[in-house]
Amino acid sequence: MTLAIRILGGLALIFALSLPASAQTVSYAEAMRLFTRACGKDVERTCKGVSIGEARMLNCMKKNESKISDTCKTTLDATIRSLELRAAAQEAAFPLCEKDIRRFCKEYDPGNGRILRCLLSNEKQVSAGCNQAITDAGWR
Amino acid sequence: MKTFLSTLVAAAAITAASVGGAMAQASVSQAELINNLQGLGARSTILNVDQLRQDVTVKISQEASEDVVNRNQYLDYFASLPNFSVEILFDFDSAIIKPDSYEILGAMADALHNPVLLRDQFLIVGHTDAKGKREYNLELSQRRADSIRNALTTVFKVDPARIQAFGLGEEQLRDPNNPDAAVNRRVQLLNLGPMP
């Protein structure tokens, strides 16, 4: 783990902790389900033919905010935030569990989720911070 | 067949048991994806997708009519890898993914980001039904597979080094007796094993 990633992870955590409790992370699937429910029609109307890749569709929707429904407007911002939060939480998770991994999961080789399974099976002993990080990453 | 197999270098024996391949559906859970996609262990499959593409194009040009489509075993090789099929909806004749399929893209990303699969590489294979010309379907399915790869690696931040995209057109129909059936239009996600 490079220092840069650790710092990034730390910053992501600070960012995550500074948010209200209501800003819990959700899966990408859930974020997109909520988005499509609120904005699916607006996408077809306002940004038809715009690819979702490289955030083109999200940018198009943002640019045309005056043309989209109020529900969608709120959901659009929430979606962008959800995607960022989940990515940050996943980036931060292993750095935040580093001590716990050294303590409880030293003998496990990384890969195929072995370290994660070890942390999950030691949930009672694992630090609260690490447990929360696993939850926020959506890996429970 | 021979040239094709030469492009498929399996680092170890291929498991005969096919897993996954559930029917296309509107939504799919992360757990379902992970359960079907895991399990290759330490074996890596090295694929030369460009070569694969070229071989399929040659195959199409050699088979004179739409009716002479040989089911080649090499395509069945894909079915032997841990795989999962999803249905992704596109605009007509286009690689634009419909909003109704954003959730499935999200679920695919959730699975790919899970530590269980985090070290593995994947191949996205796009399939069409048999309506229209084979060459055209090959090209459209490639653009669609690229479009899915692009969404996963940008919006959902999956490492681009982990995913390749390959359009197979109508060359591997799921239901050869009903070549125009919707069941043939699908996207397969294949686990190629750990990153080399």
Cβ contact B103–A33 (<8 Å): yes
Mean pLDDT of chain A: 88
Asked whether the beta carbons of A38 and A72 are under 8 A apart, the reply is yes
Query: Does B6 contact chain A (CB < 8 Å)?
Result: no
- Report which DSSP code applies to B90: B
pLDDT band at A14 (very low <50, low <70, confident <90, very high): low
Q: Which residues of B touch A87 (CB under 8 A)?
A: 157
Asked whether the beta carbons of A49 and B90 are under 8 A apart, the reply is no
**Mean pLDDT, to the nearest integer, of B26-53?**
81
**Residue B7, pLDDT above cutoff 80:** no
Q: Quick one: pLDDT at residue B31?
A: 87
Q: Which residue of B has its CA nearest to A113?
A: B116
Sign of CA dihedral B103, B104, B105, B107: positive
* Cα–Cα distance measured from residue B81 to residue A60, given in angstroms and rounded to the nearest whole number: 38
**Residue B154, pLDDT above cutoff 50:** yes
Q: Quick one: pLDDT at residue B174?
A: 87
Which residues share a beta bridge with B187? Answer: B86, B126
CA triplet A49, A55, A58: central angle to 5 degrees?
Answer: 70
**Other CB atoms within 10 Å distance of the CB of residue B140:** 21
Which residues share a beta bridge with B9? Answer: B46
ipTM field = 0.83
Q: Quick one: pLDDT at residue B55?
A: 84
* Cα–Cα distance measured from residue B87 to residue B108, given in angstroms and rounded to the nearest whole number: 12
Cβ contact B99–A43 (<8 Å): yes
Which of A15-29, B25-39, B64-78 is the most confident on average?
A: B25-39
Task: Determine which of A38-47, A128-137, B32-41 has the lowest per-residue pLDDT on average.
Answer: B32-41
Which residues share a beta bridge with B83? Answer: B20, B190
Query: Residue type at B87?
Result: E
pLDDT digit string, tens, across residues B115-138? 999 999 999 999 999 999 999 999
Q: Which fold has domain B2-10+19-194?
A: 60s Ribosomal Protein L30; Chain: A; (3.30.1330)
Cβ contact A49–B157 (<8 Å): no
Q: Quick one: pLDDT at residue B26?
A: 61
For residue B85, count CB atoms less than 10 angstroms from its CB and return exposed for 0-12, middle for 13-18, buried for 19 or more: buried
Max CA separation in chain A (angstroms): 56
pLDDT digit string, tens, across residues A57-91? 999 999 999 999 999 999 999 999 999 999 999 99
pLDDT digit string, tens, across residues B45-86? 788 888 888 888 888 888 866 555 555 655 667 778 898 989
Write down the number of H helices and E strands in chain A: 7, 0
Cβ contact A53–B114 (<8 Å): no
Cβ contact B155–A139 (<8 Å): no
Asked whether the beta carbons of B120 and B162 are under 8 A apart, the reply is yes
- SS3 track for A67-93: HCCHHHHHHHHHHHHHHHHHHHHHHHH
Task: Determine which of A69-78, B40-49, B138-147, B182-191 has the lowest per-residue pLDDT on average.
Answer: B40-49
* Chain A: closest CA distance from residue B131 (Å): 23
Write down the number of H helices and E strands in chain B: 6, 6
Q: Which residues of A touch B104 (CB under 8 A)?
A: 29
* Cα–Cα distance measured from residue A46 to residue B78, given in angstroms and rounded to the nearest whole number: 39
* Cα–Cα distance measured from residue B187 to residue B20, given in angstroms and rounded to the nearest whole number: 13
* Cα–Cα distance measured from residue A119 to residue B85, given in angstroms and rounded to the nearest whole number: 31
Domain ranges of chain B: 2-10+19-194
* Cα–Cα distance measured from residue A28 to residue A138, given in angstroms and rounded to the nearest whole number: 10
Cβ contact B155–A52 (<8 Å): yes
| A residues 21-50 lying closer than 8 A (beta carbon) to B | 27-33, 35-36, 39-40, 43-44, 48-50
Query: Does A53 contact chain B (CB < 8 Å)?
Result: yes
Selected residue with higher pLDDT from A23 and B33:
B33
pLDDT band at B107 (very low <50, low <70, confident <90, very high): very high
Pick B96's closest partner by Cβ from A33, A49, A111.
A49
* Cα–Cα distance measured from residue B68 to residue B189, given in angstroms and rounded to the nearest whole number: 28
Buried/exposed code over B11-21 (b: 16+ C-beta within 10 A; e: otherwise): eeeeeeeebbe
